Structure 1
Amino acid sequence: MLEAITKESLFHEYYAQWIKVYKEGAIRPVTMNKYRMTLEWLKKLIPDTKMCDVNRINYQQLLNDYAQTHERQTTMDFHHQIKCAILDAVDEGFISRDPTRKAIIKGKPPRDKKIKYLNQFELHTMLNTLNLGPDINWDWFIMLVAKTGMRFSEALALTPKDFDFPHQTLSINKTWDYKKGTGFLPTKNRSSVRKIQLDWQTVIQFTGLVKGLPEDKPIFVKDAQKVYNATVNDILERHCKKAGIPVISVHGLRHTHASLLLFAGVSIASVARRLGHASMTTTQKTYLHIIQELENKDIDLVMRSLSELS
């Protein structure tokens, strides 16, 4: 039974009820956790603020207080998660005017995010240390992620029927809930549902590996066992150290895959589709340093070509 909301109700109580009614069961658990985290910040920053007291000035102060310990993009997300609830409150008459109008988003300067990835020689050296025997193991998992750029949860969810060996493709259409152990989950977004082209060597290898395995069961998760990201990262770390190369994570293999494609001249659009990014903008932002490096090479090439015309 929901408690009656009035203008005298605390704002964080209204927000708690709002996410329960409108968001619970309608969004992915990981997104729901973000709304719950926002609720905890509301309890911390404005514990005594009533619905009738929410106006432009104290809403802006709320954003300013949050921005003191968060980057601008994180503050923007915080703002968007609250704004929807506030607009509903305005429609219901609990708040007289939209206090989010013309809100100014601030935040700490973003940290330098240096993406860890391997060059082609380093990746080749590391792959040579893998124990790729006749049975599925985590070394095969590492190899497949390196060759496809899949996310960790996407690779865990792979079943034998996701492989289309005659067409040399791999269907990505689900993820595996390794955090809570609830089984299959939808992909991160609609763009994440995709087909990844496989090289002929990987096709031949996995044709034998998945033969006889249950069609609808994950090939890397045995008997619904608990899988930890740290476990696979530890295995990968040992291989990196054995190969004498920089240590990266499984997610770093995804970055490695993307960077090698970009350096090979594959278009940003194709890389974005292969990674399952929602848009090319995501790919451009993530791999900006690589794209800038490639642009510098292009400028050198253009200048050399022009100089030959004289």
Structure 2
Amino acid sequence: MSQEEPLLYQYYKEWMELYKQGAVRPVTYAKYEQTQKMLCILAPTLRLQALNRQSYQEILNRYAETHEKQTVLDFHHQVKSAVLDALEEGLLTLDPTRRVVIKGTVTQHHKVKFLNQQQLTKLLAQLDLGDTLNWDYFLLLVAKTGLRFSEALALTPDDFDLGRLTITVNKTWDYKNTEGGAFAKTKNTASVRKIPIDWQVAMQFAKMINGKPRDWPIFVTPNKKVYNATPNDRLERYCERAGIPEISVHGLRHTHASLLLYAGVSIGSVARRLGHSNMNTTQRTYLHVIQELENADTDKIMRYLTTLM
């Protein structure tokens, strides 16, 4: 880091190059670069040492004028990581990110984040699971495993262990690659995992992957680019036909995790299944489910305690 008193955006640039470049996936690093550009726009003259709660809140408020609340929260988390390092280095004396207020624009139409079990059952009933591997099998697999979009795209026949009823996740498919796509690393080391699957999914995919190249992604056609809008548009039509709220492919991942939590599966097991680097991510993402389950636990505790009299 530079010894001169840096501007905030300059410090952030040096910080991300030092700690994030080469340590995160290119697509993730691109988000850090975008955050750095926004800091340059929002606070072009602000020195790091002059950063306080008021100036930091002003940056967030200006960013929130043109971005949704979740996007503002993501921006905050990235900037906060650098600011806390500056605090630890002694460049700041107080944490300017403490107790900030996250604002954001409101979009009129939003897809829901997850479905309940009844809604998911109606959705899966719409899938056309015929003799040819198609996007419907992709949607089924994400709903049954909680895989990320790029992880599901990267699956090859060799990743299926149908005898042990597991799928190995050790790579992703960079579908945004301008040359049509290529294998890439997983999001983090925790994302390398084996996911147990049920025997029905195993039987369905045993037939679908039979005879396919062992080391080529089963959902990717060679020399043909994949667009995430394709399965998302298909999913939207199925939701409308089933009479349920619209959901995205990523929403199927959230649905999978939420239903497991409601079924009594531990947070640790869900975190490992999703490939989260730590349970804090799982707890933060599914806070609404956890709070609901804790309320139910309180009722159980009270009912039990009354039996001790």
Q: Give the TM-score, by structure 1 length.
A: 0.81
Equivalent of residue 130 in structure 1, options 127, 130, 137:
127
Deviations 1:167-201 (A, max 9, x none): 00001111111122441111111111111101011
In structure 2, relative to structure 1, the CA distance for the partners of 1:309 and 1:227 (3 Å cut) is same
Q: Does 1:146 align with 2:146?
A: no
The structure with more radius of gyration: 1
> Following TM superposition, by how much is the alpha carbon of 1:306 offset from its aligned partner in structure 2, in angstroms?
3.6
Q: Give the TM-score, by structure 2 length.
A: 0.81
2:81 maps to what in 1? 80
1:67 maps to what in 2? 60
Moved more, 120-129 or 62-71: 62-71
In structure 2, relative to structure 1, the CA distance for the partners of 1:42 and 1:210 (3 Å cut) is same
In structure 2, relative to structure 1, the CA distance for the partners of 1:305 and 1:226 (3 Å cut) is same
**How do residues 274-293 of structure 1 correspond to structure 2 at under 5 angstroms?**
274-293=273-292
Equivalent of residue 164 in structure 1, options 154, 161, 166:
161
> Following TM superposition, by how much is the alpha carbon of 1:9 offset from its aligned partner in structure 2, in angstroms?
9.4
Distance (Å, rounded) in 2 between the aligned partners of 1:56 and 1:10: 8
Distance (Å, rounded) in 1 between the aligned partners of 2:300 and 2:6: 66
Equivalent of residue 176 in structure 1, options 173, 178, 181:
173
Distance (Å, rounded) in 2 between the aligned partners of 1:171 and 1:155: 10
Q: Does 1:211 align with 2:210?
A: yes
Kept after mapping to 1: 8 A contact 2:169/2:192: yes
1:99 maps to what in 2? 91
**How do residues 1-310 of structure 1 correspond to structure 2 at under 5 angstroms?**
24-47=21-44, 54=47, 56-57=49-50, 63-68=56-61, 69-70=63-64, 71=72, 74-81=75-82, 98-105=90-97, 107-109=100-102, 116-180=113-177, 181-310=180-309
Equivalent position amino acid for 2:26 in 1: P
Kept after mapping to 2: 8 A contact 1:141/1:155: yes
Equivalent position amino acid for 2:56 in 1: L
Equivalent position amino acid for 1:56 in 2: Q
Distance (Å, rounded) in 2 between the aligned partners of 1:300 and 1:205: 41
> Following TM superposition, by how much is the alpha carbon of 1:77 offset from its aligned partner in structure 2, in angstroms?
1.9
- SS of equivalent residue, structure 1 residue 196: strand
User: Percent of pairs identical after alignment?
Assistant: 51
Equivalent position amino acid for 1:146 in 2: A
- SS of equivalent residue, structure 2 residue 195: strand
Moved more, 281-290 or 29-38: 29-38
Kept after mapping to 2: 8 A contact 1:45/1:65: no
In structure 2, relative to structure 1, the CA distance for the partners of 1:34 and 1:309 (3 Å cut) is same
Deviations 1:72-113 (A, max 9, x none): 6633421434776x79xx9xxxxxxx5334241164435699
Equivalent position amino acid for 1:57 in 2: A
- SS of equivalent residue, structure 2 residue 299: helix
Deviations 1:194-214 (A, max 9, x none): 111010111111111101111
Distance (Å, rounded) in 2 between the aligned partners of 1:308 and 1:103: 49
Number of aligned residue pairs: give it. Answer: 292
Kept after mapping to 1: 8 A contact 2:11/2:48: no
Distance (Å, rounded) in 2 between the aligned partners of 1:132 and 1:297: 37
1:95 maps to what in 2? none
- SS of equivalent residue, structure 2 residue 217: coil
- SS of equivalent residue, structure 2 residue 281: helix
Kept after mapping to 1: 8 A contact 2:9/2:40: yes
Kept after mapping to 1: 8 A contact 2:165/2:199: yes
Unmatched tracts of structure 2, length 5 or more: 65-71
In structure 2, relative to structure 1, the CA distance for the partners of 1:47 and 1:307 (3 Å cut) is closer
Unmatched tracts of structure 1, length 5 or more: 91-97
In structure 2, relative to structure 1, the CA distance for the partners of 1:99 and 1:73 (3 Å cut) is farther
Equivalent position amino acid for 1:67 in 2: L
In structure 2, relative to structure 1, the CA distance for the partners of 1:16 and 1:260 (3 Å cut) is closer
In structure 2, relative to structure 1, the CA distance for the partners of 1:110 and 1:161 (3 Å cut) is farther
Moved more, 223-232 or 73-82: 73-82
- SS of equivalent residue, structure 1 residue 245: coil
> Following TM superposition, by how much is the alpha carbon of 1:58 offset from its aligned partner in structure 2, in angstroms?
5.4
Equivalent position amino acid for 1:78 in 2: V
